[in-house]
């Protein structure tokens, strides 16, 4: 489906950026415009400028195209994939189905165990959302040690995965030899798996990062298959103490350079961002990325806003993700309760996706995106009308909302009751008997008695005379 659309535009496959810069509105752009109620020509202009990406490998036949950029709604990614000690194909497909059902806009296959090609092939064949990978994971999984890796191994793997239909790839090309000393005094060092693998290779081989050295070859591959580059943050901070340091921003400067080189070949790029950042530094990090990387879409992992909640990092990170989305991040990579603890299972995926759908939606509301609050308002009206069924339908996770309601009030009668088990039949403030429908009649009855004047005065702060300074209470410190 996807490749047919691209090739229909004439001749050899090319990137969405290539067509956009030629002034052509592709079917992918029209599809996205229809879904998001955005003018397709505006999408074309944003792709041409580099502020919006459409990850759409020409070989991903099952794909329903989507876009990532500030012109569109804030998106979320769900990471799936096996490890050397856990999971298999059917388990990863169940995670994929759960993530997509609950609203994940993209998924990344981060498999590092066995049968990686088999798992990826199954995921791409099944997935209607873009699929991302980190090619160096598969390279290392097939070698005895990272030191044995060659530049050709990496380049060949990028091409192999591009031919399989991978829509975007995390490439940690911005980690350079000269950056490594900047991370030595960190509490957690280099926490990115890709970043740490490349750092180990550079130190062992006494050579520069092969992804950086051979960037033009990689761009040629991406251009042929329309693979979007997700420029990896290999020196991202792994704890609050390491956030916004020299290592992180040195890599970001390099990613800005690599972005310009990619755009010269019409290759789409988004930039990956930090994982642990105090709340007061999040907006600054987004602003830095936008400035240094020429407004390329920002893809953030979290960020986690505290380091003390293992088991609950889907919450600590969703707080940071909402703030990052409000500040201008375009894609939020979910974190599950298993972060730092183990390989997520299907239930962990569910919790991570819901936490991040909340964060992305909150960001859209805060950014005043047209129509973003419509669903909130409709659910609020259903809540005020005690339309329980409509509330369930409009919620992000209808199954959970219904189950929680029915845990104490399962009978069908309670689906129209004016209370839940929290307040009971007497104390729900939204019940009809507590509403303000008759307030005008009451005011009319007391008109002329002086009560109306007193009520008007109390409701108008400007009509209340200020107390003398001497009689005001002293401020508390």
Q: How many CA atoms lie within 13 A of 119 on its CB side?
A: 26
pLDDT at position 8, please?
40
Tokens of 322: 């909402």
pLDDT at 167 over 60: yes
pLDDT at 369 over 90: yes
Q: Model confidence over 102-130: pLDDT tens digits?
A: 999 999 999 999 899 999 999 999 999 99
pLDDT at 80 over 70: yes
DSSP 134-169: -HHHHHHHTSS-GGG--HHHHHHHHHHHHHHT--EE
pLDDT at position 469, please?
46
pLDDT at position 285, please?
98
pLDDT at position 12, please?
61
Q: Cα–Cα distance between 410 and 403 in angstroms, integer?
A: 9
Crossing angle for the helix pair 215-225 and 151-164, to the nearest 10 degrees: 10
Read off the DSSP letter of residue 69: E
pLDDT at position 427, please?
85
What are the respective helix, strand and coil percentages of the chain, to the nearest 5?
50, 10, 40
Q: Model confidence over 47-70: pLDDT tens digits?
A: 999 999 999 999 999 999 999 999
Work out the number of other CB atoms within 10 angstroms of the CB of residue 356: 31
pLDDT at position 296, please?
98
pLDDT band at 477 (very low <50, low <70, confident <90, very high): very low
List of residues 6+ apart from 240 with CB closer than 8 A = 276, 277, 278, 305, 306, 307
pLDDT at 263 over 60: yes
pLDDT at 399 over 60: yes
pLDDT at position 126, please?
97
Average pLDDT over residues 433-462: 70
Average pLDDT over residues 135-151: 96
Partner residues linked to 91 by β-bridges: none
List of residues 6+ apart from 68 with CB closer than 8 A = 52, 53, 54, 55, 75, 105, 106, 270, 297, 299, 330, 331
How does 174-210 read in b/e, with b if 16+ C-beta sit within 10 Å? bbbeebbebbeebeebbbbbbbbbbbbbbeeeeeebb
Q: Cα–Cα distance between 272 and 229 in angstroms, integer?
A: 10
pLDDT band at 3 (very low <50, low <70, confident <90, very high): very low
Q: Cα–Cα distance between 336 and 356 in angstroms, integer?
A: 10
**Residue recorded with tokens 């009030």:** 409
pLDDT at 4 over 50: no
Going by C-alpha positions, the residue among 325, 323, 322, 269 that lies closest to residue 293 is: 269
> What's the chain's average pLDDT?
92
pLDDT at 448 over 70: no
pLDDT at 33 over 50: yes
pLDDT at 157 over 50: yes
pLDDT at 413 over 80: no
CA 438 to chain centre: 46
Give the total residue count for the chain.
477
pLDDT at 90 over 70: yes
pLDDT at 315 over 70: yes
pLDDT at position 433, please?
73
Q: Model confidence over 182-193: pLDDT tens digits?
A: 999 999 999 999
Instruction: Looking at 10-169, list the stretches that DSSP marks H as alpha helix, in order from N- to C-terminal side.
Output: 16-21, 27-36, 40-49, 89-101, 116-126, 135-141, 151-164
pLDDT band at 461 (very low <50, low <70, confident <90, very high): low
Partner residues linked to 270 by β-bridges: 230
Average pLDDT over residues 120-143: 97
CA distances from residue 77 to 96, 211, 301 in whole angstroms, order as listed: 11, 24, 9
Please provide residue 263's backbone torsions phi and psi, each rounded to the nearest 5 degrees: -65, -30
pLDDT at position 327, please?
98
pLDDT at 454 over 70: no
List of residues 6+ apart from 269 with CB closer than 8 A = 50, 53, 228, 229, 230, 231, 258, 259, 262, 263, 296
pLDDT at position 475, please?
47
* Of 203-207, 215-219, 455-459, the least confident: 455-459
pLDDT at position 114, please?
87
Going by C-alpha positions, the residue among 259, 253, 195 that lies closest to residue 228 is: 259
Contact 100, 71 (CB under 8 A): no
Q: Cα–Cα distance between 10 and 14 in angstroms, integer?
A: 10
Is it true that the peptide bond before 303 is cis, omega within 30 degrees of 0?
yes
User: Percent of the chain beyond pLDDT 90?
Assistant: 81
Average pLDDT over residues 445-450: 75
pLDDT at 473 over 80: no
SS3 241: helix
pLDDT at 21 over 50: yes
pLDDT at position 5, please?
46
Partner residues linked to 168 by β-bridges: 132, 228
pLDDT band at 470 (very low <50, low <70, confident <90, very high): very low
pLDDT at 19 over 60: yes
pLDDT at position 428, please?
82
């Amino acid at each position: 489906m996807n490749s047919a659309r691209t090739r229909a535009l004439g001749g050899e496959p090319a990137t969405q950026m290539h067509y956009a810069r030629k002034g052509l509105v592709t079917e992918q752009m029209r599809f996205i415009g229809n879904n998001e109620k955005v003018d397709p020509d505006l999408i074309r202009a944003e792709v041409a400028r580099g502020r919006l990406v459409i990850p759409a490998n020409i070989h991903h036949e099952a794909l329903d195209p989507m876009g990532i950029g500030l012109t569109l709604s804030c998106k979320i990614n769900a990471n799936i994939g096996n490890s050397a000690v856990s999971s298999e194909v059917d388990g990863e497909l169940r995670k994929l189905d759960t993530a997509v059902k609950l609203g994940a806009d993209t998924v990344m296959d981060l498999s590092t165990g066995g049968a990686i090609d088999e798992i990826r092939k199954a995921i791409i064949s099944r997935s209607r959302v873009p699929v991302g990978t980190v090619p160096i994971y598969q390279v290392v999984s097939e070698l005895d040690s990272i030191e044995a890796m060659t530049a050709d191994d990496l380049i060949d793997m990028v091409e192999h995965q591009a031919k399989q239909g991978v829509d975007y790839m995390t490439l940690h090309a911005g980690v350079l030899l000269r950056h490594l000393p900047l991370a030595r005094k960190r509490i957690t060092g280099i926490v990115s798996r890709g970043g740490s693998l490349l750092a180990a290779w550079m130190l062992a081989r006494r050579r520069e990062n092969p992804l950086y050295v051979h960037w033009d070859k990689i761009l040629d591959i991406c251009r042929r298959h329309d693979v979007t580059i997700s420029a990896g943050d290999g020196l991202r901070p792994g704890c609050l103490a390491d956030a916004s340091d020299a290592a992180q921003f040195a890599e970001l400067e390099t990613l800005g350079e690599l972005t310009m080189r990619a755009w010269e070949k019409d290759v789409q790029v988004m930039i990956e961002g930090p994982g642990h950042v105090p709340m007061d530094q999040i907006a600054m990090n987004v602003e830095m990325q936008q400035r240094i990387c020429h407004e390329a879409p920002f893809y953030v992992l979290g960020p986690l806003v505290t380091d003390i909640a293992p088991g609950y990092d889907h919450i600590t990170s969703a707080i940071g993700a909402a703030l990052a989305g409000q500040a201008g991040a375009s894609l939020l990579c979910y974190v599950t309760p298993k972060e730092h603890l183990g390989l997520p299972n299907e239930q962990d995926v569910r919790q991570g996706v819901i936490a991040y759908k909340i964060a992305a939606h909150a960001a859209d509301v805060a950014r005043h995106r047209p129509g973003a609050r419509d669903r909130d308002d409709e659910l609020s009206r259903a809540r005020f009308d005690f339309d329980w069924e409509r509330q369930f339908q409009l919620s992000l996770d209808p199954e959970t909302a219904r189950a929680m309601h029915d845990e104490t009030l399962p009978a069908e009668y309670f689906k129209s009751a004016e209370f839940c088990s929290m307040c009971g039949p007497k104390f729900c403030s939204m019940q009809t008997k507590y509403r303000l429908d008759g307030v005008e009649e009451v005011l009319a009855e007391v008109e002329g008695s002086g009560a109306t004047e007193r009520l008007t005065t109390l409701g108008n702060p400007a009509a209340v005379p200020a107390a003398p300074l001497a009689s005001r209470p002293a401020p508390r410190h």
